[in-house]
Amino acid sequence: MKLHFFGGAKSVTGANYLLEGNPNAKGETTKLLIDCGMTQGSKKESAANYEPFQYDPADIDALLITHAHVDHTGRIPFLYKSGFRGKIYSTAPTKDFAEELLIDSQGLLERDAEERGNPPLYTLRDVNESLDIWQGLRYHEKLRIKEFDIEFFDAGHILGSSFIKISAKDEVTDKVKTIVFSGDIGNVATPLVKDTEVIEEADYAVMEALYGDRLHEVATSRKDRLEDAIEEAVTAGGVLMIPAFAMERTQELLYEMNELVDNHRIPRVPIFIDSPLAIKLIAIYKKYSDDPDYFDPEAIALFKKGDEIFNFPGLKFTLTTEQSKEINAVPAPKIIIAGSGMSEGGRMIHHEYRYLSDPKSTLLFISYQSPYSLGRRILEGEKMVKIFGEDIIVRCRTNSIGGYSAHADQKKLLDWLRPMKGSLKKLFLVQSEEDTAGIFQTKVRDELAIDTEVPKQNMEVDL
């Protein structure tokens, strides 16, 4: 087998890996693509999404998707547009979420293309036709594509997220080789989804290492810090702005705010979910809310008791542009949760334009901020930023809570690896900044004695 790294190598986003089988008598090989994500971050970084693929999409037999986030799915319609006609496989929730995310992404790309005077990366028709060849599976449902046996395991990252085990017999040695693609591994004790499964044996692993250099706050600490941030913003009489990704982060916030409201731990103030996409995704969460294959038992129990965790006193959904603008007329204190999570667009940028200069207000980060993004620059202390072509002074307070990450920290990553310690011949670290991957590489070598490499973009490896 051969493994190619076409995205996610020494980079957090843009996951895209190609696994190629051994040639048959005709010299043909089976080609499986794992994830087909967008590069996210600054406009300069995002320009890579418009580059052609480093392989012929028409030659790909199947595309396997670990989860719905756009940095793992965002170029699927472009892959289809470029000639891919194989099958796409993921869990059923991943397909449902990806439909909304890709439609939203296509709209953003189209607007950006109009501003630049260029054609869009792909059309809504490309999105819909990609969905037509997409099949939803359950965890552990057996899938065979030519010589490859494939199985999806629960990654515990977001609803429906997976890591994927792929096996094939080596005709030369007559031994089965197994490789695992981690996708994104979930944090500890995520309130909505089930815990990450483990796998005990594999020959190779391609593993994310986003937070391989740090430990997260514990879940109880993050909720206490959220409570403190809300109370401080209300006491100051300002606006608490929380840039949040529409999927999982927003829903987790609502889950914990619901508990804070129910137990009278925070003052009653208006809480706005100013994200049409997040509102649409909540409907999908509700669709699977009684399915024990995907939802955490505690969350299912709450739903069965009739606790509407996505609808509590003070919570307001602003679906339309006019409803979003009406938030401005609501006096502070108030809380606004909106995209994008890195402050690079979406409705949050309008609220930051209005309130960044207000010393009574607070900007609270709960998500990873990629290098050079507006969120990262503000978090690192930049006091003058440009929004809509204007210089905006940052006078508001800034804060961050790391415990809301849906990604595993260093300890959880090591815990996921440990059962495979005796069998792994090689570990490849991806979806991480290069320095972070290097730190985790050293940790893995020291603690688990696993041969570990941080691959380069476009690298090819014989397995």
* Residue 218 in this model has a pLDDT that exceeds 90: no
Same domain? For 337 and 418 the reply is: no
The pLDDT value recorded for residue 399 is 93
* Residue 403 in this model has a pLDDT that exceeds 80: no
210-222 in b/e form (b: 16+ CB < 10 A) is: bbbbeebbebeeb
Phi-psi region of 328 (alpha: psi -120 to 50; beta: other; left: phi over 0): alpha
The pLDDT value recorded for residue 269 is 95
Same domain? For 281 and 297 the reply is: yes
Same domain? For 74 and 199 the reply is: yes
Q: What percent of the chain has pLDDT over 70?
A: 98
Q: Tell me the two tokens of residue 182.
A: 């981690």
The pLDDT value recorded for residue 406 is 83
The pLDDT value recorded for residue 311 is 84
- Segment among 148-162, 208-222, 228-242, 309-323 with least mean pLDDT: 208-222
Q: What mean pLDDT comes out for the span 194-202? A: 94
Task: State which H helix or E strand residue 231 sits in.
Answer: helix 219-236
Contact 187, 405 (CB under 8 A): yes
Same domain? For 254 and 396 the reply is: yes
Q: Facing residues of 207 across strands?
A: 429
Same domain? For 414 and 358 the reply is: no
Cα–Cα distance, 312 to 304 (Å, whole number) = 16
Q: Alpha helices of 57-210 — where are they, by DSSP H?
A: 70-73, 76-81, 92-116, 124-132
* Residue 232 in this model has a pLDDT that exceeds 80: yes
Cα–Cα distance, 333 to 270 (Å, whole number) = 8
Same domain? For 195 and 307 the reply is: no
- Segment among 104-113, 198-207, 381-390 with least mean pLDDT: 104-113
Q: Facing residues of 357 across strands?
A: none
Same domain? For 201 and 281 the reply is: no
DSSP per-residue letters across 194-216: PPPP-----SEEEEE-TBTT--P
Q: Tens digits of per-residue pLDDT, 81-140? A: 999 999 999 999 999 999 999 999 999 889 888 888 888 999 999 999 999 999 999 999
Same domain? For 119 and 198 the reply is: yes
* Residue 25 in this model has a pLDDT that exceeds 90: no
Which CATH number belongs to the domain containing residue 103 in this structure?
3.60.15.10
Residue 440 Cα to chain centre, angstroms: 20
What angle in degrees, to the nearest 10, is found between the helix axes of 219-236 and 249-262? 70
Contact 207, 418 (CB under 8 A): no
Q: Tens digits of per-residue pLDDT, 338-362? A: 988 888 888 999 999 999 999 999 9
Q: What mean pLDDT comes out for the span 269-294? A: 93
Q: Facing residues of 347 across strands?
A: none
Which CATH number belongs to the domain containing residue 359 in this structure?
3.40.50.10890
Q: What mean pLDDT comes out for the span 262-272? A: 94
The pLDDT value recorded for residue 310 is 84
Q: Which of 404, 424, 442 is the last residue of a domain?
A: 404
Q: Band of the pLDDT at 461, cuts 50, 70, 90?
A: very high
Q: Band of the pLDDT at 306, cuts 50, 70, 90?
A: low
The pLDDT value recorded for residue 307 is 63
* Residue 444 in this model has a pLDDT that exceeds 70: yes
Same domain? For 389 and 248 the reply is: yes
Same domain? For 379 and 437 the reply is: no
What is the total residue count of the chain? 463
The whole domain housing 287 covers 219-404
The pLDDT value recorded for residue 191 is 78
Same domain? For 6 and 110 the reply is: yes
Interior angle at CA 189, CA 185 and CA 191, nearest 5: 105
Q: Please tell me the total count of domains within the chain.
A: 2
Contact 209, 438 (CB under 8 A): no
Same domain? For 371 and 417 the reply is: no
Q: Which of 404, 429, 452 is the last residue of a domain?
A: 404
